Chain A
Amino acid sequence: MARAVTQQRKIINTAAAWGVGLLIFFPILWTVLTSFKTEATAIADPPVFLAFDWTLENYSAVMERSNYARFLWNSIIIAGGSTILGIIVAVPAAWSMAFVPSNRTKDILLWMLSTKMLPAVGVLYPIYLICIKLGVLDSRGALVIILMLMNLPIIVWMLYTYFKEIPGEILEAARMDGATLKEEILYVLTPMAVPGIASTLLLNFILAWNEAFWTLNLTAANAAPLTAFIASYSSPEGLFFAKLSAASTMAIAPILILGWFSQKQLVSGLTFGAVK
Chain B
Amino acid sequence: MSFNQALYAATAMTLVTASGALAENLVIATVNNGDMIRMQGLTQDFTDKTGHTVEWVTLEENVLRQRVTTDIAAKGGSFDIMTIGMYETPIWGANGWLVSLDDLSAEYDADDILPAMRAGLSHDGTLYAAPFYGESSMIMYRTDLIEQAGLEMPDAPTWQFIREAAAAMTDRDNDINGICLRGKAGWGEGGAFITVTGNSFGARWFDEDWNAQFDQPEWKEALTFFVDMMEESGPTGYATNGFNENLNLFQQGKCGMWIDATVAASFVTNPDDSTVADKVGFALAPNSEGVDRKANWLWAWALAVPAGTQKEAAAKEFIEWATSKDYIELVAENEGWANVPPGARTSLYENPNYQAVPFAQKTLDSILAADPTNPTVKPVPYVGVQFVAIPEFAGIATEVSQEFSAVYAGQQTVDEALAKAQALTNDAMEAAGYR
Contacts and interface: CB of A to CB of B under 8 A. Distances in A.
Contacts of A25: none
Contacts of B31: 235, 237
B245 to A, nearest CB: 10
A217 B78 CA distance: 11
Interface stretch (A48-56, A112-120, A125-133, A185-193): A125-133
A125 B66 CA distance: 11
Contacts of B254: 45
A137 interface: yes
A224 B242 contact: no
Contacts of A65: 37, 40-41
Given A216-B67, A221-B55, A237 B33 contact: yes
B32 A234 contact: yes
A238 B267 contact: yes
B59 interface: yes
Report, as a range, how many residues of chain B touch the other chain: 35 or more
Interface string A24-64: 00000000000000011001110000000000000000000
Chain B interface, DSSP helix/strand/loop, else mixed: mixed
Interface string B239-272: 0001110011001101000000101000100001
B76 interface: yes
Contacts of B77: 132, 137
B57 to A, nearest CB: 5
A240 B38 CA distance: 14
A239 B37 contact: no
Interface residues of A, number: 30
Nearest to B27: A221
Given A128-B76, A232-B32, A238-B267, A224 B60 contact: no
A237 B61 contact: yes
B160 interface: no
Contact of A224 (B57, B71, B251, B252): B57
B329 interface: no
B74 A128 contact: yes
B70 interface: yes
Contacts of A220: 27, 29, 57, 78-79
Contacts of A43: 248, 251-252
Chain A interface, DSSP helix/strand/loop, else mixed: loop
Contact of A129 (B40, B66, B74, B252): B74
A124 interface: yes
Given A216-B63, A224-B57, A233-B32, A238 B74 contact: no
A231 B66 CA distance: 13
B34 interface: yes
A1 to B, nearest CB: 53
A232 B74 contact: no
A232 B244 contact: no
Interface string B41-60: 10000000000000111111
Contacts of A137: 76-78
Nearest to B79: A220
B325 interface: no
A196 to B, nearest CB: 37
Contacts of A39: 272-273
Contacts of A125: 70, 74
Interface in B73-94: 74-79
B76 A237 contact: no
Interface in B336-354: none
Interface in A211-244: 216-217, 220-221, 224, 228, 231-240
Contact of A239 (B60, B67, B70, B273): B273
Q: Which residue among A124, A224, A232, A237 has the maximum number of chain B CB atoms within 10 Å of its CB?
A: A237
A237 B267 CA distance: 10
A39 B267 CA distance: 12
B189 to A, nearest CB: 8
Name the 5 nearest CB pairs between A and B, nearest first. A232-B58, A234-B60, A220-B78, A221-B55, A235-B32
Given A43-B251, A128-B71, A232-B59, 12 more contacts: A45-B252, A45-B254, A131-B76, A132-B77, A137-B77, A216-B59, A217-B67, A224-B57, A233-B32, A238-B244, A239-B244, A239-B247
26 contacts: A40-B272, A43-B252, A45-B254, A65-B40, A125-B70, A128-B76, A137-B76, A137-B78, A138-B78, A216-B59, A216-B63, A217-B70, A220-B57, A221-B56, A224-B57, A228-B57, A235-B32, A235-B33, A235-B61, A236-B60, A236-B62, A236-B188, A237-B33, A237-B263, A239-B247, A239-B251
